[in-house]
Structure 1
Amino acid sequence: MQGIDVRRPSSDLPGLDLSMSPLDLSLQIRHGHNDVPFLVAVPSDDPSGPELTELPTGDQLIHADTWYFVDVEQTMRLSSQLEAHQIRLGSTLSDQAWLWLLWQQDLEVVDSKTHPAINTAAASGTDDGVPVPEIAGRLYPYQTDGYGKLLRLNHQGIGCLLADEMGLGKTLQVIATLAAVRDTGPSLVVCPASTMSNWLRELRRFAPQLSCLEHRGQFRSGSPATLRLYDVVVTTYETLNRDIFMFEATKWSIVALDEAQYIKNGSTSRSQNVKRLPRVQGIAVSGTPIENSLTDLWSISEFVAPQFLPKFEDFCAQFPDETWAAKEVGRRVAPLTIRRTVDQVADDLPERTDTYFPIHCGGPLAHEYQSILTAGESPLATVTRLRVACASLVPEKLDALGSILEGAFARNDKVIIFAPFTETIDGLLTHARQNFPGIFVEKIDGRTNVRDRQKIIDEFTGYGEHAILVLNPRAAGVGINIQAANVVVHWSPEWNPAIIDQASARAYRRGQAKPVFVYYFYFEQTVEEYMIDKLSGKRELSAAGLTAATDTPEISELKSMLSMSPVEDSDES
Structure 2
Amino acid sequence: MKERISFGIEFLFDSADRLLLRLQATWKDEEINLSLSTFLTFLSENENELAEPDAEFSYTLGKLLKKVSYNNEIIRAVTTDAEMAIFLKRARHYKISLYWNCNRTHMPITWSEVIPLTLHVNQNRDQLNCELADRQAWLNNPLAWLIFRAEKDLYIFSNGHITYNPSSQLLDFLDQFLDKEKIIFNSQQAVSFINNTYKHNKDRINWQIKADFADFVPVDDPPFPMLTITEKDSCLISLLSYKYREEIITPDFAASVITDTKTGRIMNRMKDLEDIYQQDIMDLFLEHNLPFMLRSPSDIARFLDKLIPVLRERDWIIHSDVPDYNIIDQPAELEFNIKQIKEGTIDWFYFEPACEINGQTFQLQELARLMVQNQGYVKTKSGYLKVTEKSREEINMLTQFGALKAGKKFGKAEILPLILETKVKGTDVQSKDLVHRIQHMNTTANIKPSSRFKGELRDYQQFGLNWLNFLHSAGMGGVLADDMGLGKTVQTIAFADQLKASGPCLVIGPTNVMYNWVKEIQKFAPHMNVIAYTGQDRFKHLEVLQETDFIISSFGVIKNDIDWFRSISFKAIFIDEAQYIKNPATQISKAVKSLNSTFKLAMTGTPIENHLQDLWNLFDFVMPDYLGTMRQFELALGGGSRDILKTKIRPFVLRREKKEVLLSLPEKTEIIMKCPMTEAQKCLYETVLKAGRAGIKNSTGKNERLNILTTLLKLRQVCIHPALLQELRGQDIPSSKFELAQEKISELLEEGHKIVLFTQFTNMLDIIEAWAKETGIDLYRIDGSVSGKKRMDIIDSFQNSAGSGLFIISLKAGGVGINLTAADYVIHLDPWWNPAIESQATDRVHRMGQKNKVIVYKLITEGTIEEKIQELQEQKRQLLAEIIDIDSLEDKKIDFSELRKILF
TM-score norm. by structure 2 comes to: 0.32
Higher relative contact order (CA 8 A, sep 6+): 1
User: Comparing both structures, which one devotes a greater share of its residues to strand?
Assistant: 2
State which structure, 1 or 2, has the greater radius of gyration over its C-alpha atoms: 2
TM normalised by structure 1 equals: 0.49
